[in-house]
Amino acid sequence: MSYDKYSIEYYLTLDGWKTNKEELAPGSILETWEKETYQGSGFGRESSTWHNRWTDPTLTKEQSMLLHERFPFPERPKITGDLFKNI
């Protein structure tokens, strides 16, 4: 049984990263990412993974990359070659 596990959704907009979806204007979300954090025991280190849950279908890969350069992830994930695989 895990000691602790939680997730937070982050929304990428033209104004940067947001966490409160209710405060965003309709249509302003360009990408939705989920950060899942897990800690196996009270003495263990936390481990986090990021998952792209949704991308605006009109957003190109190049536009997405430019947005990520302008607004890096709120908490830096391990970036792999798969970062944009869902786009």
Residues 6+ apart with CB under 8 A from 9: 19, 21, 32, 33, 34, 35, 53
pLDDT at 16: 96
Residue 79 domain flag? no
- For 70, the token pair is 């302008």
CA distance 45 to 1: 15
| Structural domain for 64, as ranges | 4-70
Domains identified in the chain, total number: 1
CA-to-CA distance for 63 and 81, rounded, in angstroms? 17
What confidence tier does 84 reach under pLDDT thresholds 50, 70, 90?
very low
Model confidence over 23-80: pLDDT tens digits? 999 999 999 999 998 887 777 888 888 899 999 999 999 999 999 999 998 876 555 5
What predicted TM-score, i.e. pTM, was given to this entire model? 0.76
E strand or H helix that includes residue 52: strand 46-55
In a domain, 13, yes or no: yes
Lowest mean pLDDT, pick from 10-14, 17-21, 39-43, 77-81: 77-81
In a domain, 75, yes or no: no
76 domain-assigned: no
Classify residue 86: in a domain, yes or no. Answer: no
